[in-house]
């Protein structure tokens, strides 16, 4: 008798859970049936979109496009595609809502059957008209969206063609006399343009800035210098000296010290250059083209400073106690020197290219700069390989050494054969890859240090934080591990973008893949998007959590009071868990 009562109670609990889980769906259906769809569907906004697509498509068909013009067309197309996606996401559920209302009304009476009431007939006619309007707007939106995607793909293909043409365009090699003849003529032409720009700069500064502008600039520089030295004096131990060895015993302190070194070296000098340019420009002492050159100089200095900061933060050639890689002092010094000088060469090449563009230099000047960049990077890499002891323990380091030799050989062959653009691409991307790899390593070490030192279940700080958030120490450690994995993925994505191809080509393609995954793609009539998948997973986890919560309540509060056998109590609890999982999946 007691067992039968317990079974009835268990079945009653299961039915109660099913009713609670199905109640929101029933309420939603009732709300959908009581709220009619909006009968007004406007397609007037699609006409200007179609006109813009016609203009962009016609513009693409013309020859003579540069990468910049194609980038502008792509930027012009991006909001159109986003608007079409938003309109489709609005119309698709509206069409499903109208179809649901029509299915609730049932089929129309057959010929000879008793007619339906006038209210139902009017409602059916109204819904049919609304469905026709929504369906027409949805189809037109889908067609325009497909057309916009095709135009975007054509723009990307044209940009890749331009990139390949520039990358593998053959010029006289560095051993060819024609290369040096063209370079000398280009330097003479560029020097004339540079001299004219300097004369124009002097006239502009006298006319717009004058003595007053120079005086104000000097006073501003003095004030900024006083503020800087005051801050440096107040933080002299942090800014002038490295962190003390006794403060880097823990991994978190060592990683934070490396991060501080990176920020100190990577920010101070570029900010100073940028401030100088803005002060002079604000007082009318810089010609607009000189101001652009100053901004380019700040960017070039930022690249060089970032490479130096990564070398000092990760390799720490003079502070082995905070070194974040497994390397001896000799290897750390040589690797840091290689990365520092490579970043400086890359920054100098960036500034030279900006200056070539500013003075209208011939193409030979840009080719010579690319040859200089790749040649110096190749020589630095060769010097490093000859001076760095061979890696005898790690297979991964041996592969890196082999790839470095391949890089040197490829750069040398490209320079000799006349593929200057390809050699510069290899050299520049290699240095950017090394800098981003160092930044990614520093970021991952910081994340791991935070998880291991601050959120560890065995640490006092971890137990305090677990109590603060109402979690068990192991639960907090599990959540921290999952968040650490998510942050590492985000860091990897941030590090990939600067490495992906020049002109933003491959970066744009990569972003488009991510964007399509987020906003969704269609397979037939089925729309699949990342936000839908994430929402479904979140709802599933909520269902699992609710099931587990109620199951624990049954095990601890309800079932012990029923008088059932412990084995039967466990069976009812397991059965309830299965039912909750099934309902959550549905």
| Domain closes at, from 167, 200, 224 | 167
Angle 294-297-299 (CA atoms, 0-180°, nearest 5)? Answer: 115
> Mind spelling out the 3-state secondary structure of 365-429?
HHHHHHHHHHHHHHHHHHHHHHHCCCCCCCHHHHHHHHHHHHHHHHHHHHHHHCCHHHHHHHHHH
Q: Which residues contact 92 (CB under 8 A, 6 or more apart)?
A: 138, 527
550 and 418 within one domain: no
pLDDT at 37: 45
**Which tens digits make up the pLDDT trace of 83-92?**
888 888 888 8
**Which tens digits make up the pLDDT trace of 315-345?**
999 888 888 888 888 889 999 999 999 999 9
445 and 327 within one domain: yes
Q: Which residue matches tokens 């259906």?
A: 29
The answer to the question of residue 538 being in a domain is yes
Reduced to 3 states (helix: H, G, I; strand: E, B; else coil), residue 7 is helix
pLDDT of residue 120 exceeding 50: yes
310 and 397 within one domain: yes
The strand pairing partners of 185, in sequence order, are none
**Beta-carbon count within 10 A of 211 CB:** 8
| Domain closes at, from 122, 146, 167 | 167
Identify which of 85-99, 385-399, 405-419 has the greatest average pLDDT: 405-419
Q: Which of 283-292, 393-402, 423-432 has the lowest mean pLDDT?
A: 393-402
pLDDT at 409: 96
**Which tens digits make up the pLDDT trace of 400-416?**
889 999 999 999 999 99
pLDDT of residue 521 exceeding 60: no
Identify which of 180-184, 271-275, 417-421, 555-559 has the greatest average pLDDT: 271-275
The answer to the question of residue 51 being in a domain is yes
Q: How far apart are CA 536 and CA 586, in angstroms?
A: 10
340 and 260 within one domain: yes
Q: Which residue has the higher pLDDT, 395 or 205?
A: 205
> Taking the mean position of all CA atoms in its chain, how far away is CA 556?
47
Residue 27's pLDDT band (boundaries 50, 70, 90)? very low
pLDDT at 8: 46
Q: How far apart are CA 59 and CA 73, in angstroms?
A: 9
439 and 371 within one domain: yes
Q: How far apart are CA 269 and CA 306, in angstroms?
A: 10
Q: Which residue matches tokens 């520049």?
A: 428
Maximal C-alpha separation, the chain? 107
pLDDT at 530: 52
Residue 249's pLDDT band (boundaries 50, 70, 90)? low
CB 6 within 8 A of CB 573: no
Q: Which of 391-400, 429-438, 524-533 has the lowest mean pLDDT?
A: 524-533
The answer to the question of residue 28 being in a domain is no
181 and 163 within one domain: no
pLDDT of residue 504 exceeding 60: no
Categorise residue 116: left if φ over 0, alpha if ψ from -120 to 50, beta otherwise.
beta
> Residue 541 sits in which domain range?
529-586
Q: Which residue matches tokens 């006409």?
A: 47
Number of compact structural domains in the chain: 3
Q: Which of 231, 221, 213 is nearest to 282 (CA)?
A: 213
The answer to the question of residue 473 being in a domain is no
The answer to the question of residue 475 being in a domain is no
300 and 193 within one domain: yes
The answer to the question of residue 322 being in a domain is yes
CB 281 within 8 A of CB 291: yes
| Domain closes at, from 112, 137, 167 | 167
Q: Which residues contact 130 (CB under 8 A, 6 or more apart)?
A: 37, 39, 41, 98
Residue 306's pLDDT band (boundaries 50, 70, 90)? very high
91 and 127 within one domain: yes
Model pTM above 0.95: no
The answer to the question of residue 201 being in a domain is yes
The dihedral through the CA atoms of 20, 21, 22, 26 has a sign that is positive
**Which tens digits make up the pLDDT trace of 47-60?**
888 888 888 888 88
Q: Which of 78-92, 358-372, 387-401, 483-497 has the lowest mean pLDDT?
A: 387-401
148 and 194 within one domain: no
pLDDT of residue 518 exceeding 50: no
203 and 282 within one domain: yes
- Run of H or E including 506: helix 505-519
- Run of H or E including 494: helix 473-499
In percent, the amount of the chain with pLDDT more than 90 equals 23
The answer to the question of residue 405 being in a domain is yes
Residue 558's pLDDT band (boundaries 50, 70, 90)? confident
DSSP of 93-139: HHHHHHHHHHHHH-SPPPTTSPPPPHHHHHHHHHHHHHHHHHHHHHH
Q: Which of 131-145, 166-180, 188-202, 439-453 has the lowest mean pLDDT?
A: 166-180
339 and 226 within one domain: yes
Q: How far apart are CA 275 and CA 228, in angstroms?
A: 12
Q: Which residue has the higher pLDDT, 2 or 241?
A: 241
Q: How far apart are CA 23 and CA 28, in angstroms?
A: 8
CB 500 within 8 A of CB 506: yes
What's the token pair of residue 520?
Answer: 């969704």
534 and 449 within one domain: no
């Amino acid at each position: 008798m007691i067992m039968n009562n317990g079974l009835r109670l268990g079945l009653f609990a299961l039915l109660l859970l099913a009713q609670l889980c199905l109640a929101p769906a029933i309420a939603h259906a009732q709300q959908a049936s009581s709220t009619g769809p909006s009968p007004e569907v406007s397609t007037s906004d699609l006409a200007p979109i179609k006109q813009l697509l016609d203009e962009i498509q016609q513009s693409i068909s013309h020859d003579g496009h540069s990468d910049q013009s194609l980038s502008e067309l792509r930027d012009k197309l991006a909001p159109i595609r986003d608007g079409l996606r938003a309109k489709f996401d609005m119309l698709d559920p509206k069409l499903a809502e109208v179809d649901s209302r029509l299915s609730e009304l049932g089929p129309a009476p057959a010929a000879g059957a008793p007619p339906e009431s006038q209210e139902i007939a009017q409602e059916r006619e109204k819904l049919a008209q609304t469905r026709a309007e929504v369906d027409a707007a949805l189809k037109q939106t889908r067609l325009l969206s497909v057309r916009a995607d095709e135009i975007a793909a054509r723009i990307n293909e044209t940009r890749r063609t331009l990139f390949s043409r520039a990358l593998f365009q053959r010029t006289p090699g560095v051993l060819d006399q024609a290369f040096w003849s063209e370079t000398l003529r280009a330097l003479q032409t560029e020097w004339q343009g540079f001299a004219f720009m300097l004369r124009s700069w002097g006239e502009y500064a006298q006319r717009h800035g004058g003595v007053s502008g120079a005086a104000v600039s000097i006073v501003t520089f003095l004030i900024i210098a006083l503020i800087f030295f005051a801050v440096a004096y107040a933080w002299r131990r942090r800014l002038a000296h490295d962190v003390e060895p006794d403060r880097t015993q823990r991994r978190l302190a060592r990683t934070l010290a490396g991060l501080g070194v990176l920020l100190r070296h990577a920010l101070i000098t570029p900010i100073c250059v940028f401030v100088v340019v803005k002060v002079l420009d604000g007082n009318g002492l810089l010609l607009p083209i000189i101001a652009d050159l100053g901004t380019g100089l700040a960017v070039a200095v930022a690249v060089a400073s970032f490479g130096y900061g990564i070398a000092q933060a990760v390799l720490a050639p003079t502070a082995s106690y905070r070194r974040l890689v497994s390397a001896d002092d000799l290897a750390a010094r040589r690797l840091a020197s290689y990365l520092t000088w490579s970043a400086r060469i890359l920054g100098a090449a960036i500034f030279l290219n900006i200056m070539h563009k500013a003075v209208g230099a011939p193409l030979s000047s840009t080719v010579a700069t690319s040859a200089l960049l790749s040649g110096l990077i190749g020589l630095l890499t060769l010097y490093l390989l000859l001076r760095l002891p061979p890696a005898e323990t790690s297979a991964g380091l041996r592969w890196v050494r082999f790839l470095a030799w391949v890089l040197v050989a490829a750069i040398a062959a490209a320079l000799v054969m006349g593929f200057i653009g390809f050699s510069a691409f290899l050299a520049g991307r290699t240095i950017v890859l090394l800098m981003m790899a160092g930044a990614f390593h520093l970021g991952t070490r910081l994340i791991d240090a935070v998880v291991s030192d601050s959120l560890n279940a065995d640490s006092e700080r971890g137990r305090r934080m677990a109590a603060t958030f109402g979690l068990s120490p192991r639960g907090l450690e599990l959540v921290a591990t999952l968040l650490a994995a998510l942050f590492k993925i985000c860091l990897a994505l941030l590090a990939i973008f600067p490495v992906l191809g020049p002109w933003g080509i491959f970066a744009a393609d990569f972003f488009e893949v991510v964007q399509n995954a987020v906003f969704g793609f269609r397979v037939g009539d089925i729309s699949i998007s990342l936000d839908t998948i994430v929402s479904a997973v979140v709802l599933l986890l909520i269902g699992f959590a609710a099931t587990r919560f109620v199951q624990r309540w049954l095990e601890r509060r309800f079932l012990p009071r029923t008088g059932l056998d412990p084995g039967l109590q466990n069976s009812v609890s397991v059965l309830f868990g299965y039912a909750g999982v099934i309902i959550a999946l549905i």
